[in-house]
Chains A and B, each alone.
Chain A
């Protein structure tokens, strides 16, 4: 009886706090993504915006480790019986990736653009092995600082090329 009550308590705690934490995290991600929406970034190797003068180019990284709650882990286990999309892990990976990318952007205030962004998933503990459902995300790219070619110059270059 007592183990059963313990199990139910864990389930309830996981459900209530996990849901609350996830919603709060998604709100914070959405707000910060709005803040960084003006920073051009791409996973291309070439410059996204032509530069007039480049002062500095450096490697920037952002990483995060996020774990899933008890309730969602149970849902995922149940899901693995019938198969199909596991929504509880999808949201976990989604918010971990977005958080890692945001942390990378927060490293480079004043940058004109970030190019060649790569996202790497690493694991300190095997998720399947010991039942700890957590992911580690590492996002990295090259931040370019300096002065972008302004629009007037860009336009005149285009028109002269056309002529």
Chain B
């Protein structure tokens, strides 16, 4: 599965287009991580727990999008964009969307 955020897959020709596919995850803060983040907030610096959480939820969203594209019979996703929104206090959504296509 080719995934790019440009209009085409460079070096390949698009032969079929299936439409928009998307994937999303909603993640919430974790109590243990929250306490650590509270301590980190005094000293400043990277909140590694949250970085991991962000990475995991991003990969999960991409996987869901991939699954949807595979179901349609696509072998590439182009023009991928990320978007985030906060649903409630302490929870946020990461949303990824793109166009499922078939390349040669």
Contact = CB atoms under 8 A, between A and B. Distances in A.
B67 interface: no
A6 B57 CA distance: 37
A13 B40 CA distance: 11
A1 to B, nearest CB: 21
Contacts of A77: none
Interface string B43-68: 11111101101110010001000000
> Interface residue tally of chain B, by bracket?
35 or more
A76 interface: no
B27 A63 contact: no
Given A54-B11, A61-B58, A115-B6, A21 B82 contact: no
Interface residues of A, number: 51
A4 to B, nearest CB: 16
A18 to B, nearest CB: 4
Chain B at the A interface: mostly helix, strand, loop or mixed? mixed
A45 B7 contact: yes
Contacts of B11: 51, 53-55, 57, 146
Name the residue in B43, B62, B92, B94 with the highest tally of chain A Cβ atoms < 10 Å from its Cβ: B43
Interface of A: 10, 13-14, 17-18, 21-22, 25, 45, 47, 51, 53-55, 57-59, 61, 63-70, 72-73, 99, 115-116, 118, 120-126, 129-130, 132-134, 136, 138, 140-142, 144, 146
28 contacts: A14-B44, A45-B7, A47-B10, A54-B10, A57-B11, A59-B3, A61-B58, A65-B46, A65-B47, A65-B50, A66-B47, A67-B40, A67-B45, A68-B44, A70-B41, A70-B42, A118-B82, A120-B84, A123-B84, A124-B29, A124-B50, A125-B29, A125-B92, A126-B86, A130-B89, A132-B41, A142-B6, A146-B11
Given A17-B44, A53-B11, A70-B42, 4 more contacts: A58-B4, A67-B40, A124-B27, A140-B80
